[in-house]
Amino acid sequence: MNRLYFGDNLQWLSDRKEFPDESVDLVYLDPPFNSNADYNVLFREPSGQVSQAQFHAFTDTWSWADAADTYHQFIDTCRNVAVVELMEALHSFLKHSPMMAYLAMMAPPLVELHRVLKSTGSLYLHCDPTASHYLRIALDEIFDAKNFRNEIVWKRSSSHADIKQGMRRCGRIHDVLLLYAKSDTAIWNPVFTPYDEDYVESMYRFVDDQGRRYREGDLTAARPGGDVSFEWRVKRRINSNERWISSKWE
């Protein structure tokens, strides 16, 4: 308990005395995203100004030259045949690409994390759309697709376009949290926290005739999954009952 492990995660995880099977309750993983960038820690002057001083925090660029040994060692030693077949399949079309090098770095610790998780445990993997689709396939194989729980979208900023930077696409504004359970006995504690007063004041500005606060929000489609035939629908009090009505009805 309360121990911080410094260094390569796979090296620590492979130590079965330190990390026996089924010994961990929860994993929150925030690895590099394969963003093809280097990250530095910038220092600030006492004035708060960003100083010239900085140091290299980590590199998130991956090359096959660095990953080939890790890949082949994984293929030769991993006992999960399905995962080995998947990595070989990915290798067959990603070839010696930086993405394959990245996946070769990610797969071994993910297999170990599955081993150390208790059957009541869960894993959150923080990534972004750069590699989330490949990581999801790998986790489907390592954890079994039936143990997939959520793809949580972490909206990092409100919409913005990178047109000024010459981008010919929409702004990229979200990260992804992939949630997998180890088994269907995984612990799930829904967390509800009361809104603080300021939040209620600022966000729920309207009060209905029964004194209940409410906020205005975007309209949903008529049916789950969307139904373009109707423009919108809202809840209305008809006599004493509340009912969903759609634009057509009105």
Ligand X SMILES: C[S@@+](CC[C@H](N)C(=O)[O-])C[C@H]1O[C@@H](n2cnc3c(N)ncnc32)[C@H](O)[C@@H]1O
CB 28 within 8 A of CB 124: yes
Q: Is residue 9 involved in binding ligand X (CB under 6 A)? A: yes
Q: Which of residues 205-244 bind ligand X (CB under 6 A)?
A: none
CB 214 within 8 A of CB 206: yes
Binding residue for ligand X (CB under 6 A) from 27, 32, 104, 123? 32
**What is the closest distance, in whole angstroms, from the C-beta atom of residue 67 to ligand X in the complex?**
12
Q: Is residue 8 involved in binding ligand X (CB under 6 A)? A: yes
Residue reference for tokens 């629908």: 233
Based on CB atoms, which residue is closest to ligand X, 56 or 169? Answer: 56
Based on CB atoms, which residue is closest to ligand X, 27 or 233? Answer: 27
Based on CB atoms, which residue is closest to ligand X, 6 or 188? Answer: 6
**What is the closest distance, in whole angstroms, from the C-beta atom of residue 219 to ligand X in the complex?**
36
**What is the closest distance, in whole angstroms, from the C-beta atom of residue 30 to ligand X in the complex?**
4
- CA-wise closest residue to 157 among 170, 174, 134: 174
Binding residue for ligand X (CB under 6 A) from 38, 41, 54, 58? 58
| Three-class DSSP category at 226 | coil
Q: Which region among 29-37, 62-70, 146-154, 180-188 touches ligand X (by CB under 6 A)?
A: 29-37
The per-residue DSSP string of 145-161 comes to GGGEEEEEEEE-SS---
- The dihedral built from the CA positions of residue 139, 143, 145 and 148, taken in this order, carries a sign that is negative
Task: Report the C-alpha gap between 244 and 131 in whole angstroms.
Answer: 40
**What is the closest distance, in whole angstroms, from the C-beta atom of residue 29 to ligand X in the complex?**
9
CA distance to 126, 163, 183, per residue, from 170 (Å): 22, 8, 37
Q: Is residue 31 involved in binding ligand X (CB under 6 A)? A: yes
Residues in touch with ligand X (CB under 6 A): 8-9, 30-32, 57-58
